[in-house]
Amino acid sequence: MSTSANSQPSVALAEATASAPPSRHIRTFKPRRGRITVAQNNAIDRLWPRWGLEIPAEGEELDLARLFGRTAPLQLEIGCGMGDAVVAMASAKPDLDFLAVDVHTPGLGNVLRMAERAGLTNVRAASGDALDLLRRQIPSDALDAVHIYFPDPWPKARHHKRRIVRSEVIALIADRLRTGGLLHCATDWAEYAAEMLVVLSAEPWLRNRYPGCGYAPRPTHRPVTKFEARAVREGREVFDLSFTKI
Residue 4 within a domain:
no
Residue 62 pLDDT class (50, 70, 90 cuts): very high
Is position 81 within any domain? yes
- Over residues 67-85, the pLDDT tens digits come to 999 999 999 999 999 999 9
Residue 117 lies in a domain: yes
> What's the CATH code of the domain at 202?
3.40.50.150
**Does residue 70 lie within any of the structural domains?**
yes
Instruction: Give the residue numbers annotated as catalytic, written as ranges.
Output: 152
Domain range for residue 154?
Answer: 9-28+37-245
What is the chain's mean pLDDT, rounded? 87
Nearest-angstrom CA–CA distance, 163 and 139: 23
The beta strands (E) that lie in 72-231 are given as: 74-78, 97-102, 123-127, 143-149, 177-187, 206-208
Q: How sure is the predictor about 34, in pLDDT bands with cuts at 50, 70 and 90?
A: low
For residue 76, being part of any structural domain is answered with yes
pTM for the complete prediction? 0.86
> Dihedral of the CA atoms 106, 136, 209, 166 (nearest 10)?
80
Count how many domains the chain has.
1
Write the pLDDT tens digit of every residue in 92-145.
Answer: 999 999 999 999 999 999 999 999 999 999 999 999 999 999 999 999 999 999
Whether residue 3 is contained in a domain is answered as no
pLDDT band for 27, please (50, 70, 90 cuts).
Answer: low
Distance CA 30, CA 62 (A): 25
Has residue 1 been placed in a domain?
A: no
In a domain, 2, yes or no: no
